[in-house]
Structure 1
Amino acid sequence: MEKIQHRNIFVNGINMHVAEVGQGPAILFLHGFPELWYSWRHQMLSLSSLGYRAVAPDLRGYGDTDAPPSAASYTAFHIVGDLVALLSALGLDKVFLVGHDWGAVMAWYFCLLRPDLVKALVNLSVVFSPRNPKRKPVPAMRHLFGDDYYICRFQEPGEAEEEFSRVDTKRLITKFLTSRRPGLFRVPKHVGFGGNPNSPLTLPSWLSEEDVTYYASKFHQKGFTGGLNYYRAMDLNWELTAPWTGVQIKVPVKFIVGDLDLTYNTPGVKDYMHKGGFKRDVPFLQDATNPIKRNSNVLRGIRV
């Protein structure tokens, strides 16, 4: 960890915290919710030892990066704008891109809006979601999955934050990072996001007490509003990206998802992945095999 260097860079009107290590072709890592640059520390060290320059920012709203209060400041154009400005500040004209969860969503947008800056993409968890011109995403989810669906529950400003505040931050982080319940993630208000405070939580081998403490310290300091604002900007993204309706992702792509990932088990996703829709919308998709049940080093598999 001491090999990883940290600095703050002013980009696109905000101060962004960036972690870096290594020299060579650059890989830009984009984390998800509720995560940080820290999620990529092992991959950064491993790939830097193979001759890559690994760059992992705290995205807008997270960690030591600025967090504008309004959800309207978290559109794909803001996030991609931050990243384009970051590449310019770092003197990078093209990068390999790696994303997970909301980082994967923003990686898809990055490839949609600025494919000229991307050598290739490795995305985890969240498949490309082509814009449906007939319906906004949040009302569609509410209709299909109900008001208790977690994305719907995140929409009202301050509501989820108030629920989160009633739960120990370390416990909340542990629940988010270790949940392995396939299927729709519904959270009725009478249950709340903390669940039963007396139920034991066991850390898996890949997550240490030190890791949870690091995440919790940053979210205790920054709060969750920045991360939740990505969900709250979903309909605004839909409105703003109308000109890109029907546009394909045209960079080389590898995709990884776990068999118990809630995204993979969301109704419609498996059919989209395995019955031609994904390949239609991402024509240079090189690998979207069955969901993995063990670690896989796919970054070495991309050759561009």
Structure 2
Amino acid sequence: MEGIEHKTVSVNGINMHVAEMGQGPVVLFIHGFPELWYAWRHQIVYMAAHGYRALAPDLRGYGDTTGAPTSAASYTSLHVVGDLIALLDAVAPDQDQVFVVGHDWGALVAWYLCLYRPDRVKALVNMSVMLSPRNPKIKPLQGLRAFYGDDYYICRFQEPGDIEAEFARIGTKRVLENFITLCNPAPLCLPKGKCFGDSPDTPIILPSWLSKEDIDYYVSKYEKSGFTGGLNYYRALDLNWELTAPWTKAQVKVPVKFIVGDLDLTYNAAGTKEYIHKGGFKRDAPFLQEVIVIEGASHFIQEEKPEEISKHIYDFIQQF
């Protein structure tokens, strides 16, 4: 990670930590849960070496970014996109448009960024989480509970303090190891009191792409910040739904490349493959140019397949 610079920028009422490397057109990397800027470490170095300026912030509530309110009501897509626009205005005032790369929750944030401010985005590479058009007839949590039940991870995340207490009993390190090594394409359920379902005494074998040092970095940050900030994004789902009523049926009108692993639980969710491959995705994102499904890859794809993903990003954005 030598050569990556770190700074804190005051934006939109918070103090945002940003990792940065390289010179040239800006590529903004947006992480998901339970990630940090660190999830993009391989891509930052790659893009900097290929003539781009990589920017990877810790989103509000995460890592070394501080000053965000604790209430979930302050974690809507409007807040988070507001942070990113303010960040770009502060650190890249000379660039009207930037390239955007998102994963997991970062992909959701990126979709919203392109909906709200397409004038600021040159092209988008999104991973794992497809575009999810607003359904005006049903709130997200109501739909998830009806389909997956109360043990579904997003439903378990809703009660403030509840899952945090369970994570505290399990231990930060083990929680992060369980999440980041997840390779089961089935829906993720976390039954109360059983959570990941494994014995706390059973060692978790890290895959070749994830080192002890990587886990230690994540642990050091989450032990300081806690999980609540990241969980608040899930807790704002219904509020997001209410606030985005004006964007019902709106299209994402920027050039898009979408990448997902065939073992990713998001790709194997009900209806996802049909939406991606049978016209729905292209209808809602008319400038969708490529869909890449990587065989044998799971959810944390940019860490699992760093060279391949970095090249996919570069090959797409250098066209513009």
**TM-score, normalized by length of structure 2?**
0.93
Give CA-to-partner distance per residue, 1:59-112, whole Å, 9 cap, x none.
000001024200000000000000000000012321100000000000000000
- 1:19 lines up with 2:19 in the alignment: yes
Confirm or deny: 8 A CA contact 2:22 2:54 kept in the other structure.
Answer: yes
Please name the residue that 1:6 is paired with. Answer: 6
Which consecutive segments of 4 or more residues in structure 1 shift more than 4 A?
none
TM-superposed CA distance for 1:194, in Å, is: 6.6
- 1:157 lines up with 2:160 in the alignment: yes
Instruction: Give the aligned CA root-mean-square deviation in angstroms.
Output: 1.1
Secondary structure of the structure 1 residue equivalent to 2:16:
strand
Confirm or deny: 8 A CA contact 2:23 2:51 kept in the other structure.
Answer: yes
**TM-score, normalized by length of structure 1?**
0.98
Inter-partner Cα distance in structure 1 for 2:133 and 2:199: 37
Q: What 5-or-longer segments of structure 1 have no aligned partner?
A: none
* Counterparts of residues 159-238 of structure 1 (less than 5 Å): 159-193=162-196, 195-238=198-241
Q: Which amino acid aligns with 1:301?
A: D
Please name the residue that 1:113 is paired with. Answer: 116
Inter-partner Cα distance in structure 1 for 2:69 and 2:213: 28
Secondary structure of the structure 1 residue equivalent to 2:170:
coil
Inter-partner Cα distance in structure 2 for 1:266 and 1:96: 28
TM-superposed CA distance for 1:291, in Å, is: 4.1
TM-superposed CA distance for 1:288, in Å, is: 1.1
Range that drifts further, 59-68 or 236-245: 59-68
* Counterparts of residues 21-60 of structure 1 (less than 5 Å): 21-60=21-60
Inter-partner Cα distance in structure 2 for 1:38 and 1:286: 28
Confirm or deny: 8 A CA contact 2:189 2:195 kept in the other structure.
Answer: no
Range that drifts further, 118-127 or 168-177: 168-177
Q: Which amino acid aligns with 1:69?
A: T
Please name the residue that 2:302 is paired with. Answer: none
Please name the residue that 1:299 is paired with. Answer: 313
Confirm or deny: 8 A CA contact 1:37 1:58 kept in the other structure.
Answer: yes
TM-superposed CA distance for 1:180, in Å, is: 0.5
Confirm or deny: 8 A CA contact 1:163 1:193 kept in the other structure.
Answer: no
Report percent identity of matched pairs.
63
TM-superposed CA distance for 1:293, in Å, is: 3.2
TM-superposed CA distance for 1:289, in Å, is: 3.7
Secondary structure of the structure 2 residue equivalent to 1:298:
helix
Q: Which amino acid aligns with 1:211?
A: D
Give CA-to-partner distance per residue, 1:235-282, whole Å, 9 cap, x none.
000000000000000000000111111101111111111111111111
Range that drifts further, 194-203 or 12-21: 194-203
Aligned length: 304
Range that drifts further, 143-152 or 288-297: 288-297
Give CA-to-partner distance per residue, 1:144-163, whole Å, 9 cap, x none.
11001100000001111000
- 1:272 lines up with 2:286 in the alignment: no
